[in-house]
Every structure is written in C-alpha cells, then in structure tokens.
Amino acid sequence: MSLYALIKPFLYSMDPEKSHGLAIKALKLGAVPPCSFQDYPSLQTELFGLSFPSPVGMAAGFDKNGEVYAPLLKTGFGFVEVGTVTPKPQIGNPKPRIFRLTEDKAVINRLGFNNRGMDAMKSELEHRRKEGGIVGVNIGRNKDTRYAVQDYTLLLGELGALADYITINISSPNTEGLRGLQQREMLENLLAPLMEVREKLDRHVPLLLKIAPDMKDDELKDVAEVAGESGLDGLIVTNTTISRPATLRSKHREQLGGLSGEPLRTLATETLRTMYRLTEGKIPLVGVGGISSGQDAIARIRAGASLVQLYTALVYQGFGLVSDIKRELADHLEQQGMTSINQLIGADA
C-alpha cells in the first residue's frame, strides 16, 4: 500500500481546502517523497524553445502563490504551472468553495482566483534557481478591476522575465465576465497589447492561452484564427466546465463552480481534438482535464496535445500517479516502435 493510500482517509476527513493547505505545507517541509528514477529519454521534448524532460506537468490551481514549484518538480513533473495570480491580492469567493465528488472522482471549485497577489508571486519567483526546471505562470484579472487588459499587461510586464512561459487565463468560470474575453473582438483587443508588452521584455517569453471546454464550434474557430494571427505560442485545452454530465452521482453535483476530474475527460478531449483540427496542428496544444492515467495521457497526445497537465487526479491517487503515467507513456512508445513522444502527437487526427 502506498503512503498516500495510508494518509488519504485522514485527508478526506477534513475540509478540502484545509486538506490542500496541508499538502502545501508537507511539500514545503519535504515530507512528500521525491521521484526516485530518471526520466525516460523517449519522453523528452522541445517546445516553445524549452527542453521538457517529460510532457507531464502540474496544472495551475494547486500552487497558487508559487510556494512549492521546486518540490513539485522533484515529485517527477516535467514542468509546473503556478497561479492563477492577479495584480492585487484577493481572498476569493465565500467558503465553502471546494467540493469533492468522490463517487465521480471529480472536484467542483468556485475559488475565484484567491491568491496573495503579484508582488508575493514575484518574490517567490525571484528566488528561483534557473536550473530548477520549467515553471510557467498563470495570470488572471482581479474580480473588481474595470480594465482587464491593464491587469494582464501589468502581470506580463512584471512576471514575464521570471517565468519560462506565461498562461493567459480567461476561461475560469468563477470570476464574473471573465469568459467573455474569449469572444473574438475582446480576445483580439486583449492579445494585441500583450504582444506589445512582450516585445519590450529582455527575452522572448512564450505566451499561452487557456480556454474553456464549453465553447461552441464557431467560438473555437474564432479562438483558433485569432491565436494564429496574433502570434500566440500555444493553447491550453481546457479549463473546468460549467456543464454537469447526467452520470454524476455525488450529492455535491449541483454545486456552483467549475467541474474537473474524470467527468470532464471526454469533453476536454473532444475540445482538444477540434482545436487541433482548426489550427491544423500548427499551434502547440496542452491537454488538461480529466487525465487520471497513462492511457488518458496517451489518448490526449494522440488527439493532438504536445504536453499534458494534471491536478484533480492527484486528489484521488497522490503524486505517485506522475511516475505511473510516465512509465505507461514510455511503454506505449516502445510497443509502437516509436523513439520519441513527438511521434505520437496527433496520431489519431
């Protein structure tokens, strides 16, 4: 039995947000065992001018303040995305705001970008050792801001030099009006000034856009076209969903917020498949949403993802899942007679 299986009943006995706080403290204290084996050469990949030791990353939302990216990397992740961070600190939405849907292996959250703000994130990232792996920063607007563009450009200007890449989050369902920024005209008006800010940075910082799984095909087509025209480096597909599959069994299934975990898997995969087709494979995609096994990661990469990210599955399986997924990926490549994960990207498209 794994260590996580032993402590899981204790973690589940407390409020999910308190349990998450305990996990952050455990990582800070070095109580989470590091990954004990080297990454497989076949899983190494070059993307955005960065060398990823594996395509398996930690999604944004876990390390909101950039406190534990170093110990997270040691658990075996090929990269870690911290945030979402906003210019000013904010407490987020009223509690309770995280719900485990245990029967469904899912989570509903309505956190609302709770974080300590840009200055606190900047302080954490300034202590970063460059040899410590790939760290991206997920940025969002404050709830009470009047001009979203100013929030995003400020964050890029202040944090761009400290991050390996920046993710523009306009797809969380928990900040009123945020998803409206995915509409074509508003997206164009957001990306143009961001590209201008990036030009003024000392180095090229890859810019990625994180999108929702709840958009219609014509909306996805608009995003794909704007992404290609604007010079975005990649798309993260997808954020949580506001939909509620009829198969949900948990008593929490009607809670407001974004649904993540296994019930999101099919929708997230189909959205990624559509986006891969719309972009003609010319813009790298990061697959996230409902990935809880090596087979899920394989399916997402075959559908067009160059990288994948996890979060909710760790709530149910612990950090040992990261090594399991990488092992399954490497074994699948060997069985297919492939020597590089790049050969698998879009294989089913």
Catalytically annotated residues: 172
CA nearest to 82, candidates 154, 167, 148, 205:
167
Ranges of H-type helices in 29-117: 69-74
- Number of other CB atoms surrounding residue 173 within 10 Å: 20
Q: Give me the phi and psi of 23, to 5 degrees please.
A: -65, -40
CA distance 257 to 243: 10
The alpha carbon torsion through 203, 138, 260, 239 (nearest 10 deg) reads -70
CA nearest to 53, candidates 237, 323, 302, 315:
323
Give yes or no for a contact between 298 and 344, defined as CB atoms under 8 angstroms apart: yes
Evaluate the omega torsion of the peptide bond into residue 241 and state whether it is cis, within 30 degrees of 0: no
Tokens of 126: 């300034």
Tokens of 306: 């160059």
Measured between alpha carbons, how far is residue 113 from residues 24, 51, 82, 109, 146 in Å?
Answer: 17, 29, 12, 11, 16
Q: Which helix (H) or strand (E) holds 330?
A: helix 320-335
Give yes or no for a contact between 96 and 148, defined as CB atoms under 8 angstroms apart: no
Give yes or no for a contact between 258 and 242, defined as CB atoms under 8 angstroms apart: yes
DSSP 11-54: HHTS-HHHHHHHHHHHHHTT-SPPP-SPPPGGG-EEETTEEES-
Ranges of H-type helices in 166-293: 184-200, 217-230, 265-278
